[in-house]
Amino acid sequence: MRRPPVRLEASWEMVGWGVATGAAVVVGLAAEVLWTAHRPLPSFPDLDASGTIGAALDGVPVVVAAIGDSTLTGPGLPAPQQIWLWQALERVGSARPIAVRSFAAGGSRLADAARRIDEALAVRPDVVVVAVGSNDALHGTPTTAIERQLDALLRRLLDGAPVVAVANVGDLGNIPRVPQPLRSLLPARSRTVRAVIEDVIGRHERAVLLDVTPADETLRDGSVFVADRFHPGPRGHAAWAEVALPGLRAAFALLPEVGVVAADRRR
């Protein structure tokens, strides 16, 4: 539904134009966020990506725990096997089965992901995959808080897991559900949050980047999204799987040095 334009009376132009304009922008953007969140469009449940890939293979499974937001739960997808992480793990080339354990939940921010750490580490993962930050970017979490929370998250995860693979944030301006003028601000916001995520990843020796930004071109096509106009559909997840695959392979390549320890813990 198109909202009527806001009219500025002539008196605003005569007194305090700069202050009034700034206040109007803040109020207007807040209204856009609320309207985006509550727009009457279809909603879809989270899917659970947990399961075993390559069950017929020999050996102790490589345990992959997933923490994050709806990018890992695929709302609107026909099946959880179409979630990008599952697709990429099917192609990672592991000689052992891969046991996926998902602790992701739609709408999660970094603070929410931190509350799932103990559950994720309880399954004694070889690799933890983290995909979170988009909701922090959309809801205005300060970059200083994003940096602090992600650094703490990685420190805790790396205390209990050999490798952590972290997805960065793509261009959130591609989301069709977000209206203007908010949508025009999201590319810059995405770049800022992405730079923070990548900087924090670079501080941790056993943290690996999953760079999803090459998929931005595919996600500029609004038809890639499901009916809620917020979450990518099968084509979007296939694009994410393609670009995340090199990072996942790099994460698995670290396992020969530490994977024996992880396997021994499970015996």
For the chain, report the end-to-end CA distance as a whole number of angstroms.
Answer: 58
Fold of 51-265: Rossmann fold (3.40.50)
Question: At 129, which helix (H) or strand (E)?
Answer: strand 127-131
Distances (CA, A) of 60 to 39, 92, 118, 245: 47, 16, 22, 22
Per the CB < 8 A criterion, the answer to whether 69 and 126 are in contact is no
Mean pLDDT by 10 residues, the chain (267 residues): 32 27 38 51 90 94 97 98 98 95 98 98 98 96 98 98 98 93 93 98 97 98 96 98 98 71 38
- Which residues are bridge partners to 209 per DSSP? 166
The per-type count for the chain, helices as H runs and strands as E runs, is 11, 6
pTM of the model: 0.83
Q: Is 213 helix (H, G, I), strand (E, B) or coil?
A: helix
- Which residues are bridge partners to 129 per DSSP? 66, 165
Say what the pLDDT of residue 39 is: 56
Say what the pLDDT of residue 41 is: 65
Say what the pLDDT of residue 182 is: 84
